[in-house]
Amino acid sequence: MSKRAHQTVRRTDALSKARIVEAAIEILDTRGEAALTFRALATQLATGSGAIYWHIADRNDLLAAAAGDVLARALAKVAKEEEPRAAIRAIALAVFDAIDAHPWAGAHLSREPWHSAVGEIFERIGGWLQPLGVPVDAQFDCASALTNYILGVAGQNAANARTLPGGTDRKAWLEAVATRWIQDVPEARPFLRRVAAQMREHDDRQQFVAGVDFILEGACVKRNA
């Protein structure tokens, strides 16, 4: 009860982990991961770094809390689905969209895959594998594959946001990457050459779902083994 007393008595502008995380998310979203320094955070909260450290262990703790916040909100909004495949797609896309909107969160999750948000994703997806018809002994591998795939795309998206911030022409950038990849090697790279056009034009979100579908399809088929 002394705990509750604190929370009500403190004046409204008192620091708290929640308020610090909120401020951190604002900095991360508007100015990127590199801009989240304890000095910037202290300025934004009109306090000193020591006060922040009273509520938060270190920078990693702060990033983890911010990423957890963003992902929990995204996962809470996933629409209820009846059909297993649609349900898994919805969960995966919720994560994709959250990380697309907050790339720093993607970077953190692929750096810290034991974050509780990853456990949540794992559970939510895993629960649909039985109704989907994935054999029992393939369910763990399937959920892991999906999680790893999602984290891989998360890292990729974070990297994209880092290298082409805001205004840059995405199509031109992809074109440049494709030609660099092709020219890197003296012998032509026939496959890259063949798909370069698709690489320039492709939609990340749509391609992401295609990957999810591949894994689900493969796990369903794997009745043998």
Partner DNA sequence: GCAGGGATTGGAACGACGTTCCAGATATGA
Partner DNA sequence: TCATATCTGGAACGTCGTTCCAATCCCTGC
SS3 31: helix
Distance CA 74, CA 106 (A): 13
SS3 208: helix
Binders of its own copies among residues 167 to 186 (CB under 8 A) are: 177, 180-181, 184-185
Shortest reach from residue 111's CB to DNA, in Å: 14
Residue 2 touches which of its own copies, DNA, none (Cβ within 5-8 Å per kind):
DNA
- Tell whether residue 51 is a contact of DNA (CB under 7 A): yes
Please select the residue that binds DNA; options are 29, 38, 141, 174, rule is CB under 7 A. Answer: 38
- Tell whether residue 58 is a contact of DNA (CB under 7 A): yes
Distances, alpha carbon 203 to alpha carbons 178, 209, 214, in Å:
15, 10, 17
Whether the CB-CB separation of 107 and 158 falls below 8 Å is answered with yes
Q: Which is nearer to DNA, 67 or 88 (CB)?
A: 67
Shortest reach from residue 151's CB to DNA, in Å: 23
Distance CA 15, CA 29 (A): 21
Provide CB contacts within 8 A for 16, sequence distance 6+: 55
Shortest reach from residue 43's CB to its own copies, in Å: 27
Shortest reach from residue 65's CB to DNA, in Å: 13
Residue 189 has, within 13 A of its CA and on its CB side, a CA count of: 12
Residue 210 has, within 13 A of its CA and on its CB side, a CA count of: 6
- The position carrying tokens 């705990």 is 3
Binding mask of the shown chain, residues 93 to 112, with x at each position contacting its own copies by CB under 8 A: --------------x--xxx
Contact residues toward its own copies (CB under 8 A) are 107, 110-114, 116, 119-120, 122-123, 126-127, 129, 138-145, 147-156, 158-159, 163, 177, 180-181, 184-185, 189-192, 195, 198-199, 202, 207, 210-211, 213-219, 221-222
